[in-house]
Chain A
Amino acid sequence: MEIAFYILAGMAITSAILVVSLKNLVRAILALASLFLSIAGLYILLSAEFLGLVQILVYIGGVILLFLFLIMLTENLFEKSQVNLFQRITGIGLVLLLFGIFISILMKQPFQAIPKTDYSIQEIGKHLLTDYLVPFEVVSLLLLVALIGAIVIAKKEEE
């Protein structure tokens, strides 16, 4: 079980570094797809199988498709100006500082092993419809609004 975690974690970190450093946009999007896949594998390791499958369906099957359609429909999407070296080093320094703050807080947590939980889809569905009913309905409304908004924004103007 440990080797699976380390393989998936290595794949996730490598994909994330590729996403933030590749110049070609299509390759960055494919690296993001491999990041989503490794995160789905990590969800399945945490015995959140429904969440892992929803991640694959929605993120890889929806979000990556959206990005690729955008690239198909527009031209000249490559980066023109670059950050100079001083800005890049400052950025890396700030991010490392934030990472240090995170680690100093994390290490104070007790070292708990992951138990083997068994939250079935039935239980998640029951929680969604009783405890989390209001966020569930609000999220469906949010999706409707996002759909209408995206269509209205990107529509071609009539002559």
Chain B
Amino acid sequence: MSTTHYLVLSAILFCIGLYGVISRRNAVMVLLSIEIMLCSAGLNFACFSTIYNPSGQIFALFIIVVGAAEVACGLAIFFLSARLSETIDLDKFNLLKG
């Protein structure tokens, strides 16, 4: 196995996550797709840490922690907005539209 295999896999996962963020209308699905992108970034870091030094693994650890914190806050915001309005369609949240 070479680093190129892992990097290509990470690029594929990133692009799939990006497509999920673009095309999903439900806020929770968008959060799921962001998690896919975070996973691919962590895989990239861990792949390069085998060649250089363990800083890559430590950074992937921080990515995991920040991802978990972001999911908690995002779900709290989503929970509140779903309680206050009747719909969860992302297209309908357009109060700031010019």
Known: A51-B57, A73-B79, A119-B57. A63 touches B11 (CB 8 A): no
Main secondary structure of the interface of B (DSSP, over half): helix
Q: Please name all residues of chain A whose beta carbon is closer than 8 Å to the beta carbon of B9 when the two chains form the complex.
A: 9, 12-13, 42
Closest beta carbon of chain A to B58's beta carbon, Å: 6
Interface of A (DSSP majority class): helix
What 1/0 mask marks residues of chain A from 51 to 74 whose CB sits below 8 Å from any chain B CB?
Answer: 100110011001100110010011
Give 14 A-B contacts (CB < 8 Å), ordered by A residue.
A1-B1, A19-B16, A20-B16, A42-B9, A51-B42, A59-B67, A59-B68, A79-B89, A91-B22, A95-B15, A111-B2, A143-B69, A150-B76, A151-B76
B contact set with A: CB distance below 8 Å: 1-9, 11-20, 22-26, 28-29, 31-33, 35-36, 39, 42-43, 46-47, 49-51, 54-55, 57-58, 60-62, 64-73, 75-80, 82-83, 87-89, 91
